[in-house]
Chain A
Amino acid sequence: MGNSIKRLSLLILFLLPAVVLAHDVTSADQETLNNGGLFSYIWVGAKHMLTGYDHLLFLVGVIFFLKGFKDILKFITVFTIGHSITLIAGTFLEIQVNEYVIDAIIALSVFYKGFENLEGFQKVFKTNSPNLLMMVFVFGLIHGLGLSTRLQSFDMGTDQLLLKIISFNVGVELGQIAALIPIVFLITKWQSRQSYPAFYKASNVYLLLAGVGLFVYQIYLYVNGG
């Protein structure tokens, strides 16, 4: 019991920076973008990833499923390629999707990962889950569209547009790495402990609940026009 409290304290400690940094993407970011050049796009991209709980929850779900650093690197790379494609192309070509709809789909990706980790496909549908690498790529494309929608909500002007988009994407990757390091550390350290199954179950049930909650919330915003 004492060990479990210790680990939970560790979890809180690791998530504390995200809580402290949680300023969201605000009009202050617009001012940063207006005045800070390309580095400001890197900063806002990183900030968005660090405070974008839906993206991080999905990645937490992916990491739970994986074993070994190589595996993590492979899946995160596929996710990164996926979201980079739609983030860069979507923003450059000004492809717009409704932000609430795309965020609702991203919420479903969080639910999906929790469901898969809890062997939902085997238990509910009596079938194997779809190829995870492919699903991570597909969800990467969807997450990229969400990021693109957010980036397009800013006034980026017309100069160096592609460079600004790429800078934002670089920021997203840096934010992703910064968020993943403690999460990977915590999960891999906990894996060898007796309390890990309870932690695994608790985290993935939470992903299910969070996915449903975020989905309902986004649909509510969509129906009520934000």
Chain B
Amino acid sequence: MKKLFFGLLAFVVLCSHDMFLKLDGYFLQPQTQSEIQLFNGSFEKSENVIARNRMLDASLVGNGKRIAIDTTQWFEKDSITYLDFKTGNAGTWVAGVSTAPRNIELDATSFNDYLEHDGVLDMLEWRKTNNALEEDAVEKYSKHVKTIFQVGDTLSTDWNTNLGYPIEFIPLENPYSIHPGHDLKVRLLYKGKPLADQLVYLGNELEDKNETAEHTHANGKTHSHTHEDEDKNDHTHASVEQLRTNGEGVVTFNITAQGVWYLRTIYMQHLEDETLTHESNWATLTFAVGDGNQVHSHDADSHSHDHGDETHEHDHEDEGFPSYIFWVGSIVMVALLFFFFRRKK
């Protein structure tokens, strides 16, 4: 009976693990009704909804203000928890959800499977090297998720808001100010401090046109495949890459194409506790990188940046009139003035 219980539990654990905040489109119009989806399962599919009372915090940050999300704004549909909200003024916005810890009891095999399945490879390695693979586990876990989205064309500084969650990703640059080809740095904080040497998984749903792409799964295995018969125009491509934070808790990765990008990590520690053996804190961050035409463009003629509290836009081509007009006009004017003063004398 106990085996069956653990087996069922393992099935539940292996089916539903990560939590993500996602949007159908990450570029929204100001002052419009929109939805954010809270996925509990994988990035591709939500397996369960999240009860309101599990949410210790649900916040929206935009236009310099943090707004607590009212529980009545959430609704459920097809195993997905939806947040119905109205976008505010233009700017880069952040939404976050932090859940209360829960405990889970797993036999050794289920725990090992879960560590491998979810890519908690450091803990699995520790169990291997310390002959602990046969030990059952009672784990306390909690999940803390964020998404960054762009409202309108104006960039703002809220993208780097620290929501104060036990663990959270904070980009070092506004994802909406960059374009494909750029290296993005993101810092991972645990209890407010940089978390070094931590495994982080980078995933994406790219609107690429490559027919061959390489995947790395959560467990580190890589393969590539081709899409021969798919419509290239509507093609999206998902892949996962394994990264590790440096000494300053920062992961750096190249934004290879436009699309939706996400980071996920599970930081697991041993616990010296009478009832618990482990504690894990889960974090995800989702955002999108556009083609550069929304708020930032180098292929087109304009882009905008934010610097500290200031936000401004540049239009390189149209900024001022062309220099040659100025210089030609200047020469003509100096010549006219010269002849005028020469004659006057």
Contact = CB atoms under 8 A, between A and B. Distances in A.
Interface string A32-44: 0010000000000
B65 interface: no
Nearest to A21: B323
B193 interface: no
Interface string B305-341: 1011010111111011011101110110111011111
Contact of A157 (B183, B298, B330): B183
B305 A24 contact: no
Given A94-B308, A198-B342, A31 B298 contact: yes
Contacts of A52: 323
A11 B181 contact: no
Nearest to B344: A198
Interface stretch (A127-135, A136-144, A205-213): A205-213
A160 interface: no
A37 to B, nearest CB: 15
A157 B182 contact: yes
Interface residues of A, number: 46
A206 B330 contact: yes
Interface stretch (A12-20, A62-70, A167-175): A12-20
Contact of B301 (A19, A23, A27, A159): A27
Determine the interface band of chain B, counting residues with CB < 8 A from chain A: 35 or more
Contact of A22 (B322, B339, B345): B322
Main SS at interface, chain A: helix
Contact of B331 (A11, A51, A226): A11
Contact of A27 (B172, B299, B310, B342): B299
A77 interface: no
Contacts of B185: 158
Contacts of B327: 15, 18-19, 22, 53
Interface in B179-194: 179, 181-183, 185
B119 to A, nearest CB: 27
A12 B331 contact: yes
A153 B316 contact: yes
Contacts of A226: 313, 315, 319
Contacts, number: 124
A96 B308 contact: yes
A147 B335 CA distance: 30
B323 A158 contact: no
A157 B181 CA distance: 11
Contacts of A22: 322-324, 326-327
A19 B302 CA distance: 24
B195 interface: no
A8 B338 CA distance: 9
Contacts of A206: 330, 333-334, 337
B12 interface: no
Contacts of A99: 312, 314
Contact of B177 (A96, A155, A198): A155
Given A20-B324, A203-B337, 6 more contacts: A11-B334, A22-B323, A25-B319, A27-B298, A198-B342, A202-B340
Interface of B: 172-173, 177-179, 181-183, 185, 296-303, 305, 307-308, 310, 312-317, 319-320, 322-324, 326-328, 330-331, 333-335, 337-342, 344-345
